[in-house]
Structure 1
């Protein structure tokens, strides 16, 4: 993550911990996340170790209940691990206060969700500029126009979300994620509510953010076709890493998922507690 000097000042009080991996945008070391206690405890993450390089597109897959969403939430600072260390761009975030985490997410991280999460009362432009507004930064309509043009929505600035198709709304969500020029974009099932053609367009935008803007994209998905857009696919099972594929086709990814699901029958039992 390309933390600028101002961002380092805002996170200077965070504990540094052991040195991180050079060139890593996202790094997890020994990350565990447990919900509940005793015999009813659910181990959503059971010791995850990984480092994701800057400027790459990583897809994360696994059977239901494997810990995919918990992984994303911990990596993005939306949830705190029970144990272990999380770094964004070399900055240890595990011991940050809630206010520090909020500031970090607003300035350094972008989010794209399956449900779009646009505010219906705001215009497209206002939705795109919302992260800048929340961060207390000057809202620049020219910046909004730039990112909207990049996602193919030039001229839609004054529309409301209800006036757009689902695919267009997700394009607005991608523009909102990119408006602060974030170092990492976390995408949680970003194409789950879209048809095949529209999904491909949105995935192309995420791919473009990596290839032309140098962003780092981390995407949780259940769809092998979506995962095939990534540089690398990581597989989770029972809260732990279960291998990966570099540049795999949709067919190879689907085959790996089928094999993984067949040998982890206990995952469905966890699905109600953790995805």
Structure 2
């Protein structure tokens, strides 16, 4: 049956269907604002963020304390709802999704790597890697899990439990878990914050390799210029908006840009901007 011309399509939960996102983009934010509280005491954590990230790219997000990094990640990943604006992941508009639909999307199409690893101690390494498939109601593909563990150098640790592994090994398991469903986007929140320098480099190398060889899209929030230097592009947040960006920057250049941004934040001027 053909739709009548002029009749607007609706989604399963009877919301008007949004226009399609821009092809080839993994993450799209348009006019995203996040306000906590009301009136004079309101906090504008995000003050109108515009962002377009192509598929198969590695993006780092940095900014001074209180700049909105955590809020950005939560809104972009569907963990928090913006007060205004639009968020699309893999071309899918998520802003008005129901909680059930958002949960399903996160389980099946997004990957997460956290500073604290967030592995379940009672499960084996293999079971932890398979968890996103299990939660999404998909067949638990042990061959896929084995391939991901081999990719992160832990092929011989599948039957171990997290408590038997080092911190770096646990974070490798978390990376394998994030990649096992071939997600549209992997969101990494300070993934090297609990690791020493050498181990951090190994984990960042895995994320870099996932982008370069698996076609993954990685969005990483970090305070570390050395970690950010692994990314294709560094975006700098200040006062809830993107104020600057740097392509393929060295750790030294990134640190210098951060120092400048921090100084400007201490003496605020007009800093809001858009990054596309």
1:101 and 2:102 are equivalent in the alignment: yes
Aligned to 1:63: 64
Q: Is the 8 A contact 2:59 2:218 kept in 1?
A: yes
Q: Per-residue CA shift, 1:207-253, capped at 9, x if unaligned?
A: 01100110100000000000000000000000011010010110000
Q: Distance in 2 between matches of 1:56 and 1:19?
A: 21
TM-score between the two structures when normalised by the length of structure 1:
0.91
Which portions of structure 1, spanning 4 or more consecutive aligned residues, are displaced by more than 2 angstroms? 10-22
- Structure 2 unaligned segments of length 5 or more: list them: 1-10, 269-276
- Structure 1 unaligned segments of length 5 or more: list them: 1-9, 268-275
Seen in structure 2, the aligned counterparts of structure 1 residues 240 and 256 have a Cα distance that, compared at 3 Å, is same
Query: What is the deviation of 1:265?
Result: 2.2
Q: Is the 8 A contact 2:124 2:159 kept in 1?
A: yes
Q: Per-residue CA shift, 1:99-128, capped at 9, x if unaligned?
A: 001111111100000000000011001100
Aligned to 1:251: 252
Query: What is the deviation of 1:39?
Result: 1.2
1:48 and 2:49 are equivalent in the alignment: yes
Query: What is the deviation of 1:144?
Result: 1.1
Aligned ranges 1:64-103 → 2 under 5 Å: 64-103=65-104
Q: Distance in 2 between matches of 1:251 and 1:75?
A: 28
Aligned ranges 1:1-275 → 2 under 5 Å: 15-265=16-266
Seen in structure 2, the aligned counterparts of structure 1 residues 120 and 14 have a Cα distance that, compared at 3 Å, is farther
Q: Is the 8 A contact 1:207 1:229 kept in 2?
A: yes
State which drifts further: 148-157 or 17-26: 17-26
Q: Is the 8 A contact 2:20 2:92 kept in 1?
A: no
Aligned to 1:3: none
Aligned to 1:5: none
Does 1 or 2 have the higher relative contact order (CA < 8 Å, sep 6+)?
A: 1
Aligned to 2:5: none
Q: Distance in 2 between matches of 1:11 and 1:156?
A: 42
Q: Which structure is larger by alpha-carbon Rg, 1 or 2?
A: 2
Seen in structure 2, the aligned counterparts of structure 1 residues 125 and 63 have a Cα distance that, compared at 3 Å, is same
Seen in structure 2, the aligned counterparts of structure 1 residues 140 and 229 have a Cα distance that, compared at 3 Å, is same
Matched pairs, number: 258
Q: Is the 8 A contact 1:54 1:216 kept in 2?
A: yes
Q: Per-residue CA shift, 1:128-154, capped at 9, x if unaligned?
A: 000000001111221111100000001
Seen in structure 2, the aligned counterparts of structure 1 residues 12 and 107 have a Cα distance that, compared at 3 Å, is farther
Q: Distance in 1 between matches of 2:69 and 2:218?
A: 15
TM-score between the two structures when normalised by the length of structure 2:
0.91
Q: Is the 8 A contact 1:16 1:91 kept in 2?
A: no
Aligned to 1:272: none
